[in-house]
A and B are shown apart, each in its own frame.
Chain A
Amino acid sequence: MTLKRYVATRLITMFGVLMITLLITIALVGSNMDSILKQGVVFQVRSEITENPAIAESFSSVDEFELFIQTQIEQRIKILGLDEPWYSPQRIGLTMYKILFLDFGHATFLTSDSGSSDVKEIIVEKLPRTILLFTTATIIISVIGIFLGTLAGSKVGSILDRITSSFAIISSSFPVWWIGMLMIFVFSFVYHIFPARATPLIPSSDPSYIGSLLYHMTLPLITIVIIGFGSWAYLVRNFIVGIMQEDFIIAKKTMGINQKKIIYTHALKNAAPPIVTILALSLSGSLGGAIITEAVFDWPGMGRLYFEAITVMDLPVIIGATYVLTVFFLISIFVADLLYGYFDPRVRTG
């Protein structure tokens, strides 16, 4: 299999996954969505009639009036295509087509900071903040992790190695959001260093907003880094340890090239492919984890939006956010796959 074909199959699989995800999401929320839309129509018709008293006066009996309202409602439902059940092929097709091109409709309850209820606008507003927090965190984590891991891997069994390894194991069993609660408890309420809520109080149009946002970002950032870098260091260490046992490294050692040079030029270079792959994967993983972390810190990003949408059952937002999260997740898996296939030709034939 050539690289081209490999990429093509991956792309098709990813697109299939995206469609399946959409389908499942719609199937899960479809019936609720339908009733909400129908209620919306009824509300719209009734409010239009109350605004215009002339319509009501033109009817002689209450029954006739009610009948008129009913036919009005049914007509509108038919125009919108709501008379067919949500699982009819046309409607699912239409919904999926709309979502595919980022037309999520309007949110039922939630609005963006600027007051818009267009789901696309809400997401466009929140997404950069999540990317800002989690990308920064992942970069810091990977830098610390690669550095520590290389150090530990080059001196297997040393104190540094043992501390790194045990820290990695221990930190991986603590839930990030719980550490977050503790951090808020300690740094916001015992020592008043950082704000407890990560949402800045000044409006986003203010020029000092960015600075305030960064200041509010510190506590969640520290928390994510503390929990994350241990397992990174451990992974890198294991790669380095594995590579240091390879023949070509041992050959270089016998040639008398100094240890540091071997590690930083040859070993690290060979460990790069899996490290880059994991970097891509952990970026996507952190986006999924964002939901709980952002809920704890009240960080105004995608995760909190998702959580708020779930709490008030704002279905258009749920569908939109799931779609965007899935797209990001798939892109990073795709990139990781490509990198892996590029670096390791065996995968392509597998």
Chain B
Amino acid sequence: MLTTQFLLLGAVLFCIGVYGVLARKNAVMVLMSIELILNSVNINLLAFSVRHGSVDGNTFALYIIAIAAAEVGVGLAMVLLIYRNRRTIALDDLSEMKG
């Protein structure tokens, strides 16, 4: 197995995730694209873990999985709150913060 093949798979998934974050309007779909990005990072971490013969990559992959779970929980709670207040979760319509 080559190092490059895993890193390229990670890069492809990362870029698809970035496209999803940029292109999607629905907040739930943006959260799904963020999950794609986090998974590509995990593949890279585990590939480097094998490459260096160290277990640190596994540890940090587990940390990233836990962080992603927390992020999805808070993100969906926010989406729910926005939906309750505005009856839509289209990110284009959220302009109170003038972003």
Specify whether A and B are partners.
no
Residues in A lying within 8 Å of B, measured CB to CB: none
